[in-house]
Amino acid sequence: RERRVRGLFVAPGGNAVTAALAARWPLERIVASPEDAEDGWEAIARAADVALVLAAPEILEYLGDVPSAPDVLAIARMPRTPEAALPASGLALVLDGIGDPGNVGALLRSADAAGAVSAITTENSADAFGLKAIRASAGSVFHLPPLALADRAPDAVVARLRSAKVPIIIAGAHGGQSCFEFRWPEHCALVLGHETRGISPEFADSATASVNVPMFGRAESLNVAAAGAVLLYAWRQRTF
């Protein structure tokens, strides 16, 4: 809640800060220990025209919310594009009720790697700009940030997709067609839901197709982050 109120979030670790700088993400400041600042971050901050703040390791550990202090972190601005248009082609990944921030970050990383063009998190999903999600995304949150829609309720997201004529493909553990046999459209929205509760009814009722990852062993299903990675690459393989 505080991130939304202040319009700022913490990007912990050198990989996250480097990815943010490479993506030209707006940063308020970079925070580093005096030792790490002298080892290179001072010059990097100066070249990027970002204010550098020196802090003791215990302050970095507190801000980074991890057992060991990150070498550096950045205070970054939240994206402010409430009326961002959906891309006219490619795959949009929709995370519907994904409550684990680690899964949210991992899915953004997989979507980024597979070449998805946009991402949307519904209001009942974990915040993609939380510390755990950012760490799990390994910098991909800066390449593929979820669209900052004014209304992220499932029915509102469905309305946006339908108005843009984006086919909605839902993923399920059972039922539907194998993702390896499905004829994926190049332009679509892939909706992943909660591992227990599944897809919201609004998405299920508006779907043009349902796909699954077939199980060949004795496992009942895959973790949503693992299943999402398989589905994203099944789309990539079938469309290009």
* pLDDT tens-digit map of 213-228: 999 999 888 999 999 9
pLDDT range class, residue 75, cuts 50, 70, 90: very high
The mean pLDDT value for 196-211 works out to 94
> Are 74 and 51 spatial neighbours (Cβ–Cβ below 8 Å)?
no
3-state secondary structure of 8: strand
CB burial readout 45-64, b (16+ within 10 A) else e: beebebebeebeeeebbebb
Whether the per-residue pLDDT at 149 is higher than 70: the answer is yes
Q: Which residue from 65, 62, 77 is spatially nearest to 29, judged by alpha carbons? A: 77
- What pLDDT is attached to residue 4? 78
- What pLDDT is attached to residue 197? 86
- What pLDDT is attached to residue 148? 81
> Are 238 and 182 spatial neighbours (Cβ–Cβ below 8 Å)?
yes
In terms of DSSP H, where are the helices of 115-207? 131-137, 140-143, 154-163, 201-206
Whether the per-residue pLDDT at 19 is higher than 60: the answer is yes
* pLDDT tens-digit map of 27-72: 999 999 888 888 789 999 999 999 999 999 888 888 887 666 678 9
> Please, which residues bridge with residue 54 across strands?
32
Whether the per-residue pLDDT at 82 is higher than 60: the answer is no
Summary mean pLDDT of the chain: 91
Pairing mode of beta strands 91-96, 188-193: parallel
Least confident of 40-44, 83-87, 120-124, 174-178: 83-87
Report the distance separating Cα 8 and Cα 28, nearest Å.
Answer: 8
